Amino acid sequence: MANLTLKNVGKTYAGGAQAAVSGVNIDIADGEFIVLVGPSGCGKSTLLRMVAGLETISEGEIHIGDRLVNQLDPAERDIAMVFQNYALYPHMTVRDNMAYGLKNRGESKAVIAERVAEAARMLELGPYLDRKPRALSGGQRQRVAMGRAIVRQPAAFLFDEPLSNLDAKLRVSMRMEIRKLQKRLGTTSLYVTHDQLEAMTLADRLVVLNGGRIEQIGAPLDIYRRP
Ligand code: ADP
Ligand code: ADP
C-alpha cells in the first residue's frame, strides 16, 4: 500500500503533433480509488501506461510511496495492472497464471500456495484452478486477472477498462466485486473506464481528462451534478 503522486506529468509520442498528456498533477492518497474518465483519445491509457512503466515519461515525475519510479521497469514498481483483454497466459492453468508473478520474484512455494488459495477463495475460483483460460467464461477470466493482481499484494492496482469486454449484467456484478475487494484490501487504485455508472460507483474521486489535461477532479457527485 502506498500513495501515488503524479507531478506535472507529460507525454509526447515520437512524431506526435501535440502532447498526448500534459501538466498532469494528481495526489492519490494511500487506499484511495481514483477513476480516470474522458473522451476517446484524451490520454487515459497513455497516463495509465506511464504509471505502469509500459510507456516512457516525457516530462514530470511519478512517485509510488516515497520512490521516484520514472526510470524503473514495470516489475520494479510494485504495482499490478488488470487489462481489458485479461492478458492471461493461455498455456497455463488458472493456478499457474495467478502464481506466475510470485514465482518470478522468487517467493517460496508455501507463500505462493497460500496467496493463491486465499485469492481463489475471495474470487470464488476454487473449482477452476486446474483449468486453462480457454475453458473459462469472460467473467471468470477477468477474475483470474484480478487474482493475479491481488496475490502480488502490490502498492497499487491499475485497471485499464477491465470490464468492457463483459456483458452488461456481469459488468454490474463485477464492479461491485472490485469495489468490495479494493475496500477490503485497501490498495490504492487508478481505474480507467468509459462507463459513467462504473465511474460513479467505484470512484472516491474522479479525474476528467480532456486533450491530455485534467479538466476536472473531484467527488463523482460534484462532477456529474454539473451541467
Ligand atoms: P485514451 O486512452 O483516452 O483513448 P490514448 O492515451 O490512447 O487516449 O491516446 C492519447 C493520444 O495519444 C491520442 O491522440 C492518440 O492518438 C495518441 N497516441 C496514443 N498512443 C500512441 C502511440 N503509440 N504513438 C503515437 N501517438 C499515440
Ligand atoms: P509482471 O507480472 O512481473 O508484471 P510479466 O512479465 O509477467 O511481468 O508481464 C507483464 C504483463 O504483461 C502481465 O501482467 C501480463 O498481463 C502481460 N503479459 C506478459 N506476457 C504475456 C503473454 N505471453 N500473453 C499475454 N499477456 C502477457
State the distance between the two ends of the chain, measured CA to CA, in whole angstroms.
36
Residue of minimum CA distance from atom 5 in ligand 1: 43
Residue 73 · residue 123 · CB < 8 Å: no
Mention every residue, 6+ apart, whose C-beta is less than 8 A from residue 163: 142, 170, 171, 174, 175, 193, 195, 198
Residue 161 · residue 193 · CB < 8 Å: yes
pLDDT in tens, 79-89: 999 998 889 99
Residue 24 · residue 8 · CB < 8 Å: yes
pLDDT in tens, 24-69: 999 999 999 999 999 999 999 999 999 999 999 999 999 999 999 9
Residue 226 is predicted with a pLDDT of: 62
Q: Residue 120: which pLDDT band, with cuts at 50, 70 and 90?
A: very high
Mutation test of ligand 2: which of 72, 89, 151 has the most ligand atoms closer than 8 Å to its C-beta?
A: 89
Residue 80 alpha carbon, nearest atom of ligand 2: 4
Mention every residue, 6+ apart, whose C-beta is less than 8 A from residue 226: none
Cα separation, 90 vs 93, in Å, equals: 8
Interval 173-195 mean pLDDT: 92
**Which residue from 124, 125, 186 is spatially nearest to 155, judged by alpha carbons?**
186
101 lines ligand 2 (CB under 6 A): yes
Residue 152 alpha carbon, nearest atom of ligand 2: 2
Grid coordinates representing 152 are 502480488
As for the ipTM of the complex, it is: 0.71
CA of 22 to the centre of ligand 1 (A): 12
Mention every residue, 6+ apart, whose C-beta is less than 8 A from residue 66: none
- For the residues of 87-121, what is the DSSP string, one character each? ---TTS-HHHHHHHHHHHTT--HHHHHHHHHHHHH
Report which bound ligand comes closest to the CA of 80.
2
Residue 32 · residue 6 · CB < 8 Å: no
How far lies 131's CA from each of 93, 109, 123, in Å?
5, 20, 15
pLDDT in tens, 193-206: 988 889 999 999 99
Percentage of the chain beyond pLDDT 70 is 99
